[in-house]
Copies of this chain bind each other. A is one copy, B any other.
Amino acid sequence: MHSTMPDTPLTIARILEYGSTVQGSSTVATWTGDGFDRRTYAEVGERAARLAHALRTSLGLSVGTRPEDRQGVVATFMWNNARHLELFLAVPAMGAVLHTLNVRMPVEQLAYTVRHAGDEVIVVDSGLLGEFAALLPRLPAAVRHIVVAGPGDRTPLSGFAGEVHDYEQLIAGMPSDYPWEEDLDERTAATMCYTSGTTGNPKGVVYSHRSIHLHCLQVAAPNRYDLTNRETVFPIAPMYHVNAWTVPHAAFATGADLLLADRHTGPGPLSRVIEAGRPTFASAVPTVWTMLSQEWDARPRDISSLRRGLVGGSACPPALMAAYRDRYSVELLHAWGMTETSSLATTALPPRGVDAERERAYRATQGQFPLSVRFRIVDEQGVVVPNDDVATGELQVRGPCVTAAYRGADGVPERPAEGFTPDGWLRTGDVGRVSPDGYLTLTDRAKDVIKSGGEFISGVALETALAEHPAVVEAAVVAVPDDRWGERPLAAVSLRAGSGVALADLRDFLSRHVASWMVPERWAVVASVPKTSVGKYDKRDIQDRYAQGRLDVVHLGRRPGDRAGDRAGLIGM
């Protein structure tokens, strides 16, 4: 039966129009180092219109309104700032595609993604021209224009064969309204992000207008970012990765004010942004929350405006959540997601009416999936297991915000067999279980599980336990080859300055929390755990350093007094 409801599409143009009119008096504030550069969403709307005119008429960018149309691709090599926000909105809203380049990705991978994505224009923050210069000789000829955002020396670009423009000059004098695509097919490409895997080439996820618009509705919900026009949001997570977890779009879609830190990504400057900008909500990886907490230990700040922080990207140690709750009255909300799930999927808001202990346990899970993500846990035999909080397997997901393919070499989506099941579910590579009331607990990455003597050891479980020790700042546990057991865990830890703790103390601490056969024999103290370009632990790097003998490893035997005959012994360890 025909409904009487129309086919009005779910687009970025609608988000731009809504934010710049109904919420036009809300503001985006970019940190300059000693204050904010503030503009209203209405002004962002006008500048986005100017930008679209400039891209269309001055740079000749192609636009399309259907999945089969050719669309020009604009790449960005930028921090979190208001110009980046203008690009976030204008480029998809005009019918082109935005490709955010990860400024911390190795240059070979970056060059690969520029070529693979078909970038034609690259917008670069002037403060990043030095870093960008390394990419310059590897740019394909398809890149015809570089637009420099902000003042400064342009000489790093002198070798570029195409045209160089100044962002402000480019948009100056352009009309301040633009006929945004109203009747665009919502399945058309809007933005692109490449995964930052440590093996193989990066894989391109191409988000549609529909997927971003729906994700935007999802993340604004009360058990996620909880956004209205009464809030101020501070996306610390970078705009160059997975649409900054859709925070900029959600702010525009709700009228929440935005704070952006620009190039000031250290804990000191971030703290000043919080103190001066008074956000009610911020989003970051655990490492950043840890750094901020250390910063505030050293130099107390007024962070009283913060009500909730979203922790995604890696598992958040429960001790960190407890510290934020007890010391700063900030609710750190645990979350899980991937580039492939448009960022945020689950969040761990506990059900009501549970006691403090169960509340902590719920908060330590990855949390509940939203309506838009279907999931299942599949064991090694390919059987879907029940949600009984016991049966463990690979997490598989699907839904309107979950990618069903990667961008192929010719731009046509491809579905590699190792990434998807034959019936179209995304294989996340994460291993875990789900409780009867729908809370996900991830126990490991499939590839990070340590297979020791025929039994599995969860590196993540050891990391979580170690992070509870007051002297531990960061702890990464990786699998290393072992003659007797096949693999054994190695723990690389960074320690609080002046803590005076010995590795044997940590070994003993760990023995009280996990089965003794799981406790690593190999330990290394590191200044900080190496990270990938998006701030996750780079376990591959630790393994490589170990293999090449570039890690100072201390070998610790079993804790004195531990008896044989524990579980490991029973299964033949």
Interface residues of A (CB under 8 A from B): 1-10, 14-15, 17-18, 21-25, 64, 67-71, 73, 97, 187-190, 204-208, 210-211, 214, 216-218, 220-223, 226-231, 253-255, 349, 351-352, 368-369, 371, 374, 387, 398-407, 411-413, 424, 436-438
Q: Name the residue on B nearest A22 (C-beta).
A: B438
Kindly list chain B residues whose C-beta atoms are within 8 Å of the C-beta of A10. 214, 400
* A228 with B220: CB separation less than 8 A: no
Shortest Cβ distance from residue A227 to the other chain B in the assembled complex, whole angstroms: 7
Bound CA span A23–B406, Å: 32
| CA gap between A15 and B374 in the complex, in Å | 11
Most buried by B among A1, A187, A405: A1
Question: Does the CB pair B64–A8 fall under 8 Å?
Answer: no
Closest to A23 in B: B438
CB pair B5 A211 closer than 8 Å: yes
A2 interface neighbour in B206, B211, B223, B399, Cβ under 8 Å: B206
| Residue contact B1 to A399, C-beta cutoff 8 Å | no
Given A2-B411, A5-B401, A221-B221, 12 more pairs with CB closer than 8 A: A1-B189, A3-B189, A3-B211, A4-B407, A5-B187, A5-B210, A6-B402, A7-B400, A8-B402, A10-B214, A229-B351, A230-B351
Contacts of A70 in B (CB 8 A): 1
Residues of B within 8 Å of A205, CB to CB, are: 4
Known: A227-B222, A371-B15. A413 touches B4 (CB 8 A): yes
Contact A67 B14 (CB under 8 A): no
Tell me the minimal C-beta distance from A488 to chain B in angstroms.
Answer: 37
Question: Which B residues lie within 8 Å of A398 (CB)?
Answer: 6, 8
The listed residue (B4, B9, B67, B208) touching A204 by CB distance below 8 A is B4
Name which residue of chain B comes closest to A42, CB basis: B436
The answer to whether B6 and A400 have CB atoms under 8 Å apart is: yes
Q: Is A369's CB under 8 angstroms from B22's CB?
A: yes
Residues of B with C-beta under 8 A to A216: 371
Contact of B403 with A4 in the complex, beta carbons under 8 Å: yes
Contact between chains at B230 and A352 (CB < 8 Å): yes
Q: Nearest residue in B to A19 (C-beta to C-beta)?
A: B371
- Give A232's nearest chain B residue, CB to CB: B352
Interface contact B368-A229, CB-CB below 8 Å: yes
A-B contact pairs, 20 of them (CB 8 A): A1-B64, A1-B67, A1-B71, A1-B411, A2-B67, A2-B206, A3-B208, A6-B400, A7-B187, A8-B398, A22-B368, A22-B369, A22-B437, A23-B437, A24-B437, A25-B436, A221-B221, A229-B352, A229-B368, A254-B371
Q: Which one of A188, A208, A231 has the greatest number of beta carbons of chain B within 10 Å?
A: A208
Find out whether the CB atom of B220 lies under 8 angstroms from the CB atom of A221: yes
User: Which residue from chain B places its CB closest to the CB of A15 in the assembled complex?
Assistant: B371
Complex A-B, nearest 4 residue pairs according to Cβ-Cβ distance, in ascending order: A22-B438, A3-B208, A1-B189, A6-B404
- Once bound together, how far apart are the Cα atoms of A5 and B212, in whole Å? 10
Q: Is the CB of A253 within 8 A of B5?
A: no
Given contacts A1-B97, A2-B206, A3-B189, contact A399 B8 (CB under 8 A): yes
Whether B218 and A226, one on each chain, are in contact in the complex, defined by CB atoms closer than 8 angstroms, is no
A349 touches B5 (CB 8 A): no
Known A21-B387, A371-B217; contact A400-B5, beta-carbon cutoff 8 A: yes
Taken together as a complex, chains A and B put the C-alpha atoms of A404 and B8 apart, in Å, by: 10
Cα of A403 to Cα of B374 in the assembled complex, Å? 29
Residue in A349, A371, A412 with the greatest tally of chain B CB atoms within 10 Å: A371
Question: Given A25-B437, A253-B371, A400-B10, are A228 and B5 also a contact pair (CB < 8 Å)?
Answer: no
